[in-house]
Structure formats: structure tokens, C-alpha cells
Amino acid sequence: MNTNPQVPEHLLNLAQRFFAAGWSHADVVEALNNPPDGVARVLGDPARWEVAKARLSLWMDKSLQPVLSPSQRRARANSAKTRAQALARAKRAEHGQARPVDLAATVAHARQLLAEASPAAARAMATRAKKSGTRRDPERWNRADEAAAAAVDAGALAEPWALEEPDEDPVEVARRAAYAVALRRARWERAGRGSENAAG
């Protein structure tokens, strides 16, 4: 394989303008075989003078000056890619050194912007803020949680332990146990609310 292709002697006259624009022999040979946009418009043997002239004219601008050679195009693309990669690395480094984000402030700002943009969203957020986490008597709920945990523990201790079959799926066993705990807690809370409503 020829690693240093040369323009045939009978085409050197055609190639002079390209050499003057900084093209190499390899660039001219590549241009003779490949159009700039990859679409073959001129068919024939590039060693023929007329075909070579037509193919090289595809690599000229409107003022009949050679455009960037294939190697110059690649060099420019690589340079742009290198610059883009360097910028991306710099941004990543800058982001890594940036101060930690205050999540609460960011969320508050996002809610403020949403409320300003949509009155309906503002009403919904205001209603939700009144309901979420504002239990009338947090101490009462803490006591209820502790009592529920104690009731679950007592129920679990009162139940006889049975040896599980070795082929039973442990995920299914855990799921059933979690369901039983949730069911007991729901029944206990429902009974507590019923007596509270009757007293009120």
C-alpha cells in the first residue's frame, strides 16, 4: 500500500492551484477519488485529465479558489472536538468545586415560581401545606405509633412460631408478615378512631 500517494505527472498542472493553497499530494489524490460531500457526480477514471478537472472543481468555491483540503477539514474537526472536550472538562471541574446546593431553598424557589405561573397550582400548594404533616396533636400521634408498635410486638410474641417449609419463598414469607403487621395496625387505628368519634 502506498502511504505517500503522488499526483500523476500529467495532472500536476491541474493541481498547482491546490498545492499553492496548502494541499498535499495525498489531499489531491483523495479529492480526485472522493467528492467533498460524498456524492459522486463525476463518473470516469480520475487519471483522465477531463475527469480530474471536473472532480477537482468540486473542491473549489465560487471564486474558483480551493476550499479546505480533506486533511485540513479533519484537522479543523479534531481541533473543534478537542476544544469542546476541554470546555466540557472545565465545566465538570467547575461544577465539582461549586458550593453544595441548598435543596430546601431550591425547592422553595421552584414552588414560588410555580405559584407565580399558575394560580391553580398556588391554591393546591397552599391547601396541601395546611394538611401535610400538621397533625392537630403530634404528641397524640406519637403515643399512637408507640402503642401500635407495642401491640404489634405483643401480637407477634403471642403467636406460636411455626417451622417454615424449606422450599417456601422467603420473599413471599416477608410479604405476608408485612401485610399482617399492616393489617393489625390498620385495625388498631380504626378501633381507636371509632372510640374517639363516639366520645366526640
Tell me the pLDDT tens digit for each residue of 7-51: 888 888 889 999 999 999 999 999 999 998 888 888 888 889 899
Backbone angles phi, psi at 19, to 5 degrees: -60, -40
Residue 164: what pLDDT?
Answer: 47
What SS3 state is found at 161? Answer: coil
Residues in the chain: 200
Burial (CB < 10 A; 0-12, 13-18, 19+), residue 66, is buried
Residue 70: what pLDDT?
Answer: 92
Whole-number Cα distances in Å, 78 to 49, 50, 91:
33, 34, 20
C-alpha–C-alpha distance, residues 133 and 90, integer Å:
43
Per-residue pLDDT band at 57 (split at 50, 70, 90):
very high
Whether the pLDDT of residue 163 is over 50: the answer is no
pTM above threshold 0.95: no
Whether the pLDDT of residue 1 is over 50: the answer is no
C-alpha–C-alpha distance, residues 37 and 32, integer Å:
13
What is the mean pLDDT of the segment spanning 175-196?
Answer: 79
